[in-house]
Homo-oligomer: A and B are copies of this chain.
Amino acid sequence: MRVLGVDPGLRRTGFGVIDVDGARLSYVGSGVIRVPDGALAPRLRAIHDGITEVIDTWRPTLASVEIVFVNVNPQATLALGQARGAAIAAIAIRDVIVHEYTALQVKQSVVGYGKAAKEQVQAMVKRLLQLPGEPSADAADALACAICHAHASAMAANLGAAGALAQVARSGARSRRGRVRGR
């Protein structure tokens, strides 16, 4: 199974591709689509074209994208929504199934702690994929998203799909409560 992780953003969209063979994860590629400044349509096209190129190069089996929590800033939420819309549509029209995980599920899966700092995610992604150096923050988030799906699938294989989905749902709920409490 080859998983494409995507971390969409209107300035930078991170991507990371891993191969999953049972519990073994191996790094395939990662990077950042740098989106030019200026009018919205060419920016969304850059995201679309970048994602399409990644899919055509690495031919992932499926994709894993972070579910965003809406920002306090409505303009930022709209911008992020637009970037996500362009990225997810580009994946969907290539017939690649999209799975979504919350940021808390991704962190819990990679670092074991839903409130982990960005640096911890980068360090754990490096370790889990045995990379020679740390990936950039955007690429690390995308790779973490792919790893989260690999872990969820392995859980599903062990527990049966229904049990795993319930567990993921419970773990998400726990983290969310934890986050609210922590404020």
Q: Per DSSP, are chain A's interface residues mostly helix, strand or loop, or mixed?
A: helix
User: Which of B78, B92, B93 makes the CB contact (< 8 A) with A70?
Assistant: B78
Fill in one digit per residue for A40-75: 1 if any B CB lies within 8 Å of its CB, else 0.
Answer: 111011011100000000000000000010110011
Please, how many residues of chain A have a CB less than 8 angstroms from a CB on the other chain? Answer: 34
Q: How many copies does the complex hold?
A: 2
A42 x B92 contact (CB < 8 A): yes
Beta-carbon contacts under 8 Å, A73-97 to B: 74-75, 77-93, 97
Hey, which chain B residues are within 8 Å of A70, CB to CB?
74-75, 77-78
A115 CB, nearest partner CB in chain B, Å: 21
A88 x B77 contact (CB < 8 A): no
A60 CB, nearest partner CB in chain B, Å: 14
Hey, which chain B residues are within 8 Å of A83, CB to CB?
85
Q: Is A100 at the interface (CB under 8 A from chain B)? A: yes
Q: Is A98 at the interface (CB under 8 A from chain B)? A: yes
Report the Cα distance A68→B77, complex, angstroms: 12
| Best-surrounded residue of A78, A87, A89, A92 (most CB of chain B within 10 A) | A89
Report the Cα distance A118→B56, complex, angstroms: 44
